[in-house]
Structure 1
Amino acid sequence: MRLDDPRNAAVVSAGFEASAETEAAGHDVVFEINLSAKPLVDERLTDHISSEITRTGVNPRSLMFEVTETEAIINIDRARPPSAWLSR
């Protein structure tokens, strides 16, 4: 799986890796991953997040995704389905 912009995949993966290391050390911390709204309309994002959950074993509730507001508002109709998936 490859997102349109490999930096988005790298940011998501780095967030999961940091969270996994923190959980392994016994700390209960929520990591915030900041993304622009553009990757939210890439259906491969949810696949990538699912694979990172499996790969790292991270509790998904230990991650929060922040979306750039301006872009989210401009692309609100396209951003709704993935953001609904992320909030599960």
Structure 2
Amino acid sequence: MEKFVPINKKSKKAQKEYYAKKRNTWGELNPMTRTMANGKGYNRKKLKQEDRRNGSFSQKNRETAVFGCEDFCTSICSRMVISKQNQTRPR
């Protein structure tokens, strides 16, 4: 029968072997705690995804996405046309 020797009194190599045998893996279980995202909270990524799905960043809607609404764009365009017409009229 072997005499009992405390681990801290064994050689470093023997201590390594002992602790390597004790070590184990978690297997399929992940020890990290998981939390659910707050559904009512502000999530910028979620808003961007919804905008992309709705097509607000597509080529045809680029002007309306920049200015915010179609009416604003048409009012500016009509003002530009009127101002150009006023400039070309002889006085």
Bin the TM-score by the shorter chain. under 0.3
Structure number with the bigger relative contact order (C-alpha 8 A, sep ≥ 6) is 1
Larger Rg: 2
TM-score (norm 2): 0.20
Structure showing the higher strand proportion among its residues: 1
Higher helix proportion? 1
